[in-house]
């Protein structure tokens, strides 16, 4: 079954995710198919822009095929590494693509869906958008460029999203700059047709279709987020939340206590490093090394088991506490890949 639909429509190249039963979660084959289309259209003068959306079902893209990745991680990890290598090549290709790209984040946009939407020049949110990087729940980390994108959000919002996996709606995405436009979902099909026929009017067409979004709820918590998530030390964040008597802080502390302590510390290091990265390829190179190491560690295999396989929602993290996750362990996870095994762009 073809899980990626590609065609030229008018003056636009169209890439449509079509794996609805998995909410279009990405496989290596899907990444390869998207790369092939983008490379072909890069040299095709008849293609003036690229539209990226999903063909059917709910959600744009729920992430990657993490069950496959976990099963590989429990073995030699080779299949998991091959997936990440290809996925990150796709992320980087979109990030550096010269022609305009437009991602329609209509519905669930998580993990791998963030990785293929955020590099696009235009990112459309709707009333259906549910955006999140929930990887700490399964012992992973916000990859696919998360260290780059989240570290560049205002204040400490990126650290908050990376640690808690909080879901954002379309209005919040627009407020934070994760989306460039807020457009009603029932206007999208007509808009796509106009974009394909008038690619020289992209910005005007998007502006005409955009509406004023509802109030961004996260704006009301910005002061708390910036104050309580100010540290790059996970224990200090937990301490700050524990000393705050608000219901919001108590709720977020309970959320963090359920996450993988290892993943939370990895995520904070990733954003700290990502803020200083000058080249997106360097970000992808580091994230690949971290991914290659972390998928073969206990927490990822255990997190996928608890959430997606046995579904008991009772992960047994190891190390079990933040204090037990040493700096040496994090350094080991961030160690560069051996020569000849590093990630490389196309």
Reduce the DSSP state of residue 297 to 3 states and report it: coil
What's the CA gap between 274 and 283, in Å, rounded?
Answer: 6
**How many other β-carbons are positioned within 10 Å of the β-carbon of residue 231?**
15
DSSP H or E stretch at residue 182: strand 181-182
Angle between the N-to-C axes of helices 280-294 and 78-96, in degrees from 0 to 180, rounded to the nearest 10? 160
Q: Do residues 229 and 163 touch, judged by C-beta distance below 8 A?
A: yes
Q: How far is CA 152 from CA 145, 204, 213, 295, in A?
A: 11, 27, 22, 26
Structure confidence at residue 207 (pLDDT): 98
Structure tokens at 211: 């509406």
Structure confidence at residue 57 (pLDDT): 85
Q: Is 198 among the residues known to form the active site? A: no
Structure confidence at residue 1 (pLDDT): 65
Q: Is 186 among the residues known to form the active site? A: no
From 59, 64, 170, 303, the catalytic residue: 64
Provide the β-strand partners of residue 15: 6, 52
Structure confidence at residue 241 (pLDDT): 98
What's the CA gap between 336 and 146, in Å, rounded?
Answer: 18
Structure confidence at residue 307 (pLDDT): 94
- Domains recognised in the chain with CATH numbers: 4-333 (3.90.226.10)
**How many other β-carbons are positioned within 10 Å of the β-carbon of residue 278?**
7
Q: Can you give the pTM of this predicted structure?
A: 0.97
From 48, 65, 87, 135, the catalytic residue: 135
The whole-number mean pLDDT for each consecutive block of 10 residues of the chain, a chain of 346 residues, reads 93 97 96 98 97 94 94 96 98 98 98 98 98 97 98 98 98 98 98 98 98 97 98 98 97 98 98 98 98 97 95 97 98 97 98
CA within 13 Å, CB half, 37: 23
Q: Is 64 among the residues known to form the active site? A: yes
Q: Is 143 among the residues known to form the active site? A: yes
Residue appearing with tokens 């910036």: 226
């Amino acid at each position: 079954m073809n899980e990626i639909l590609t065609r030229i429509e008018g003056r636009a190249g169209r890439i449509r995710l079509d794996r609805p039963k998995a909410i279009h979660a990405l496989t290596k084959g899907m990444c390869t198919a998207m790369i092939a289309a983008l490379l072909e259209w890069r040299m095709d003068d008849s293609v003036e822009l690229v539209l990226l959306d999903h063909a059917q079902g709910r959600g744009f893209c729920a992430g990657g095929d993490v069950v496959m990745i976990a099963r590989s991680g429990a073995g030699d990890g080779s299949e998991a590494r091959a997936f990440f290598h290809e996925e990150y090549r796709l992320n980087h290709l979109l990030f550096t693509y010269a022609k305009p790209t437009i991602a329609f984040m209509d519905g669930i946009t998580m993990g791998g869906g963030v990785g293929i939407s955020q590099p696009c020049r235009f990112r459309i949110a709707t009333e259906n958008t549910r955006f999140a990087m929930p990887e700490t729940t399964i012992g992973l980390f916000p990859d696919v460029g998360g260290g780059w994108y989240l570290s560049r959000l205002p204040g400490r919002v990126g650290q908050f999203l990376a640690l808690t996996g909080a879901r954002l709606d379309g209005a919040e995405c627009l407020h934070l700059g994760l989306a460039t436009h807020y457009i009603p979902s029932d206007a999208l099909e007509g808009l796509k047709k106009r974009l394909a026929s008038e690619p020289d009017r992209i910005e005007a067409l998007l502006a005409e279709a955009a509406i004023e979004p509802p109030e961004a709820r996260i704006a009301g918590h910005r002061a708390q987020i910036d104050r309580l998530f100010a540290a790059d030390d996970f224990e200090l964040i937990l301490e700050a939340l524990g000393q705050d008597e608000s219901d919001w802080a108590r709720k977020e502390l309970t959320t963090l206590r359920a996450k993988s302590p290892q993943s939370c510390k990895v995520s904070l290091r990733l954003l700290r490093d990502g803020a200083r990265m000058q080249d997106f390829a360097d970000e992808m190179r580091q994230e690949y090394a971290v991914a290659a190491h972390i998928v073969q560690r206990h927490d990822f295999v255990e997190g996928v088991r608890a959430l997606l396989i046995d579904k008991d929602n009772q992960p047994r993290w190891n190390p079990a506490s933040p204090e037990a996750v040493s700096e040496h362990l994090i350094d080991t996870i961030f160690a560069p890949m051996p020569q000849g095994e590093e990630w490389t762009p196309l």
